[in-house]
Amino acid sequence: TVSGQVNRPANLRVPIGTLLADLLAHCGGIAGDDGNSRPLYIAGGPMTGTLLERLDVPVTKTTGGLLAILRPENTEQNCIRCGACARVCPSRLMPFAIDSAVIGGHPDICADYNAQQCIACGSCSYVCPAKRELVQVNKLAKKLLREKKAGERRA
């Protein structure tokens, strides 16, 4: 499924290995791109999908869709520590603290905040008044913690 702000949203059957960029081009590209917005590409759904940095990614057996969204530039603001993300987190985490640790370059502190318990439901990002991409930062924190643990096992 290629959906979101595309010219011709579609459900397509494509061979494994087809690039997501080719799928977006087949669907006519981004609709209404005025140059003042940046496109966000999400593999999967809007709540638990993975934010993609680029579209030269192939379709795999588990690829369910591509969501393309135009987001106005500079919409993300500094965290105001309102705690809304912590109140809605079903895993009882503090996403604002994990975000702060990752931004500050201290991913090891994320283990103290139990970042590995994040279920990536997207609730924190949805309620954030500062429009922080907290679920993506939590996914990054989990990845950094896994890499650190793997490095410790090798040493």
According to the model, what pLDDT value does residue 52 have? 85
According to the model, what pLDDT value does residue 155 have? 66
Q: What CA–CA distance (Å, rounded) separates 33 from 93?
A: 36
- Please list the residues that pair with 4 across neighbouring strands: 68
According to the model, what pLDDT value does residue 73 have? 64
Q: What CA–CA distance (Å, rounded) separates 151 from 109?
A: 17
Q: Are 76 and 132 in contact (CB under 8 A)?
A: yes
According to the model, what pLDDT value does residue 74 have? 60
Q: Residues in the chain with pLDDT < 70? A: 33-36, 72-74, 155
According to the model, what pLDDT value does residue 94 have? 95
